[in-house]
C-alpha cells in the first residue's frame, strides 16, 4: 500500500518529441530534464485543467488501491517552449499550456490491451470496474480500453474523462449517489464477477484521510478558473465530499454494475 501522504515530483519539459494524435486532447510524448520520457497532458487542451484534475485524482486513487498506474508527475512548460514548433496547432497548444501541467511516465514498448488476446482474472477485472464506477470513468470501453500491457502486467492510463460531474454544473450531491450507467460498456465487465468482495476490501482502504491527501495534491492554480465559484480550498473540498459520499453509497454503483453484467451476459 502506498504512503498516506502521496507526493508528486515536478520536472521541466525540455523537448517535444511527438504528438499522440489518437488522443482527442492531443497529448504528446515529451522529454523532461530528468532524461525520462513522459506522456504529456496539456492544460490548454479542450477540457482544460479539469481533465488534469481527474487524471491526478483518479490515477492516485488507483495507485492507493494497489493498481498499476505509471508515475504521475507535474510538468513545467516554459511560455517560450512552442516558438520553434512548426505545426501551428501544436504551437497554439503549447502556448496555451504554459505553466504547470501533468504527465505520466512513458511505458516504452507497451502495447494496447486487447481482451480477445489477453485474459484478465475476475479479481483484477472487478477491481478496475469498481474503481471506474467510483470515479465515473466513462473511457474504458472495448473501443478505447485505456489499458496497456507492459512487462506482462496490466497498467491503467488516461483518467482525464473521470469525475465528469465537474463538467456538468449540476449539484455534486445528486451525482455522487447515482449509479454509473456507462458501466454497461466497460471492457472488463464480463470478467467482473467479484465486485461485492472487492467493495468490501476497497472501501476501508480509502479512508477520509487518504482521500483528502490525494485531493490535496491538486494545485491551487488549477482551481482558480471561472468555471465555478469558490476558493481553491472550497473547490478542493467538493472533490473530497463527492468521493466520500460516493464511497459511502458504493452499494448503489456495485448493484448497478452487477445488474448490467447480468443483462449483458
Instruction: Look over the chain and give the mean of its residue pLDDT values, rounded to a whole number.
Output: 93
Q: Give the single-character DSSP code of 52.
A: H
Among the residue ranges 44-58, 203-217, 218-232, the one predicted with the least confidence is 218-232
Among the residue ranges 149-153, 168-172, 184-188, 190-194, the one predicted with the least confidence is 168-172
Share of the chain above pLDDT 90, in %: 84
Q: How far is CA 161 from CA 4, 5, 55, 112, 138, in A?
A: 25, 25, 8, 18, 6
Listing DSSP states for 236-252 in one string gives HHHHHHHHHHHHHTHHH
What local confidence, expressed as pLDDT, does residue 250 receive?
98
Grid coordinates of 203: 472501501
Find residue 103's DSSP bridge partners: 40, 73
* pLDDT level of residue 2 (50, 70, 90 thresholds): very low
Closest by Cα among 31, 255, 2, 37 to 133: 255
What local confidence, expressed as pLDDT, does residue 228 receive?
65
Q: Which residue has the cell 468521493?
A: 243
What local confidence, expressed as pLDDT, does residue 4 receive?
58
153-156 and 147-150 as β-strands: parallel, antiparallel, unpaired? antiparallel
What local confidence, expressed as pLDDT, does residue 264 receive?
79
At 126-157, the pLDDT tens digits run: 999 999 999 999 999 999 999 999 999 999 99
Query: pTM of the entire structure?
Result: 0.95
What local confidence, expressed as pLDDT, does residue 1 receive?
46
What local confidence, expressed as pLDDT, does residue 24 receive?
60
In angstroms, rounded to a whole number, what is the distance separating the alpha carbons of residues 54 and 14? Answer: 25
At 11-25, the pLDDT tens digits run: 999 999 999 866 566
Domain locations along the chain: 10-105, 111-264
Is the pLDDT score of 199 beyond 70? Answer: yes
Is the pLDDT score of 3 beyond 70? Answer: no
Q: How far is CA 78 from CA 12, 13, 15, in A?
A: 8, 8, 11
In angstroms, rounded to a whole number, what is the distance separating the alpha carbons of residues 9 and 73? Answer: 5
In angstroms, rounded to a whole number, what is the distance separating the alpha carbons of residues 175 and 43? Answer: 25
Is the pLDDT score of 29 beyond 60? Answer: yes
Task: Give the mean pLDDT of 65-86.
Answer: 92
Amino acid at each position: 500500500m502506498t504512503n498516506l501522504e502521496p507526493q508528486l515530483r515536478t520536472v521541466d519539459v525540455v523537448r517535444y518529441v511527438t504528438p499522440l494524435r489518437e488522443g482527442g486532447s492531443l497529448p504528446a510524448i515529451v522529454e523532461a530534464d530528468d532524461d525520462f520520457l513522459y506522456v504529456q497532458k496539456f492544460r490548454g487542451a479542450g477540457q482544460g485543467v479539469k481533465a488534469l484534475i481527474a487524471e491526478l485524482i483518479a490515477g492516485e486513487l488507483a495507485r492507493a488501491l494497489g493498481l498499476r498506474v505509471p508515475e504521475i508527475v507535474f510538468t513545467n512548460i516554459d511560455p517560450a517552449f512552442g516558438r520553434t514548433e512548426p505545426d501551428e496547432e501544436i504551437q497554439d497548444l503549447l502556448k496555451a499550456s504554459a505553466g504547470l501541467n501533468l504527465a505520466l511516465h512513458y511505458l516504452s514498448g507497451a502495447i494496447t490491451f486487447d481482451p480477445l488476446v489477453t485474459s484478465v482474472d475476475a479479481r483484477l477485472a472487478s477491481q478496475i470496474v469498481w474503481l471506474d464506477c467510483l470515479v465515473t470513468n466513462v473511457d474504458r470501453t472495448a473501443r478505447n480500453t485505456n489499458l496497456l500491457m507492459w512487462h506482462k502486467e496490466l497498467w491503467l492510463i488516461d483518467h482525464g474523462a473521470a469525475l465528469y460531474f465537474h463538467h456538468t454544473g449540476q449539484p455534486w450531491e445528486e451525482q455522487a449517489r447515482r449509479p454509473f450507467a456507462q458501466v454497461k460498456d466497460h471492457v472488463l465487465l464480463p470478467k467482473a464477477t467479484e465486485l461485492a468482495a472487492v467493495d468490501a476490501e476497497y472501501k476501508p482502504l480509502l479512508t477520509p484521510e487518504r482521500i483528502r491527501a490525494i485531493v490535496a495534491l491538486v494545485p491551487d492554480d488549477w482551481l482558480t478558473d471561472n468555471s465555478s465559484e469558490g476558493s481553491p480550498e472550497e473547490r478542493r473540498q467538493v472533490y473530497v465530499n463527492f468521493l466520500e459520499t460516493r464511497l459511502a453509497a458504493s452499494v448503489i454503483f456495485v448493484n448497478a454494475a452487477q445488474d448490467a453484467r447480468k443483462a449483458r451476459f
